A = this chain, B = another copy of it.
Amino acid sequence: MNAPGKKAPRIQWGMLGGGAKSLIGIVHRIAADMGDDYRLVGGVFSSNATAGVQFASDLELDPRRAYPDVDALIAGEKALAPDQRMRLLTIATPNALHYEAAVKLVNAGFHILCEKPITTSVAQATELARLVRSKGVIFGVAHTYTGYPMVRQLRAMIADGAIGAIHKVHVQYYQGWINPLLRDAGKRRAVWRLDRAQGGDSSCIGDIGVHCFNLVEYTTGLKVERLLADTDTGVPDNAMDVDGSVLLRLTGNIPGVLCASQIATAEENNLQLAVYGRTGALKWAQETPQRLEYLQEGKPLSVLTAGQPYNTPSARAASKLPPGHPEGFTDAMGNLYRGMARAINGEPFDPGAFPGIEAGVRGMRFIDAVLKSAASGNEWRSL
């Protein structure tokens, strides 16, 4: 940990994937820049080594640190003086490549921020978690929505008892973007999410359902203990789920419902969470992320906004601007990077600062349970 008042030096940072015009690459670069905590120095930007070097050159990075693969990256960085090395690597490659890269990086002592899902199987995830713990590296999962100030406010208020004991949870994530692709067999082939070899076993649940799941566990502090799922493929000749509704039972047998769809036609990114407790409720919607609705019995609806002095410390710390100045998706991601920087710089662990490896493992268990429940004729499955 650094001396009080002394700014820690920027953490040298690299990416796996995220090169060229990659949207996720842009988001991560903007997010990492926001807090003056990181300096992008290299990575494996592309599976094509020449393209990776070109990308590094475009960004005016040292092209020698645009490595052709993870092994070369590890070797190259290890050859540098310890204080000249990358310390954090962001993994933003296709899902199927996460596990192997992560294992190598963890073994080499790098910290990791990994896109979700962290692996393609529960077994891999469990093994990776074991390794992370044994090596003592810091591992974050890019559940970006946990970075919004009002999600952190919601989490803190539940913990503070603002709504009493939880007795019902509703979460939904409706998108429509796959719909036009799904119905056009030609276009469909271009969607890697609908290709089991690239996207893994699940499209809807693996991509967006798992965000719902993470958001519930992150904010409520409860665990989903068992679930019963019904999924749908939208059209007969598609093998992947593009829609799913999941009955939940959380710690203490509390009921919940999780609704996800990629064929919710023309919806944009409609993620909503409502948590109902004995005396109040909290509701948040991703498309208006600066607002948090607080319902209390017998009182007017309260609408909390980001950046206000009444925000909880965790929410306050997640806003950079005064109230009424919208902050968005990259700002939320920026808060995950901020949290990881603090951890990397040795500050005490804050479980609300970013989702860790345990959240990654839980997400894999959730996806697995949903797929098995749906395949088995809609039976309850434990996580």
Chain A contact residues, CB within 8 Å of chain B: 7, 9-10, 23, 26-27, 29-30, 33-34, 36, 39, 58-60, 163, 167-168, 170, 172, 174-177, 179-180, 183, 228, 230, 232, 234, 243, 245, 247, 249, 255, 257, 259, 261, 263-270, 274, 276-281, 286-290, 294-305, 308-310, 320-331, 378, 380
A-B contact pairs, 25 of them (CB 8 A): A23-B322, A30-B30, A30-B34, A30-B320, A39-B60, A167-B243, A168-B243, A228-B228, A228-B378, A230-B249, A247-B247, A264-B276, A264-B281, A265-B277, A265-B281, A265-B295, A266-B281, A267-B281, A268-B305, A269-B324, A288-B326, A300-B308, A302-B303, A321-B328, A328-B331
A236 to chain B, nearest CB (A): 10
Contact, CB under 8 Å: B276 / A263: yes
A290 contacts which chain B residues (CB < 8 A)?
287
Partner of A295, one of B249, B266, B321: B266
Partner of A276, one of B23, B58, B261: B261
A18 to chain B, nearest CB (A): 13
How far, in whole Å, are A253 and B43 apart by their CA atoms in the complex?
48
Contact, CB under 8 Å: A326 / B324: no
A330 contacts which chain B residues (CB < 8 A)?
320-321, 327, 331
A249 contacts which chain B residues (CB < 8 A)?
230
Partner of A177, one of B243, B259, B322: B322
Contact, CB under 8 Å: A163 / B265: yes
How far, in whole Å, are A305 and B287 apart by their CA atoms in the complex?
11
Q: Known: A168-B264, A245-B257, A261-B168. Contact between A327 and B324, CB under 8 A?
A: no
A257 contacts which chain B residues (CB < 8 A)?
245, 257, 259
How far, in whole Å, are A265 and B328 apart by their CA atoms in the complex?
25
Contact, CB under 8 Å: A36 / B58: yes
Residue ID in chain B nearest A277 by CB atoms:
B265
A55 to chain B, nearest CB (A): 10
A172 to chain B, nearest CB (A): 8
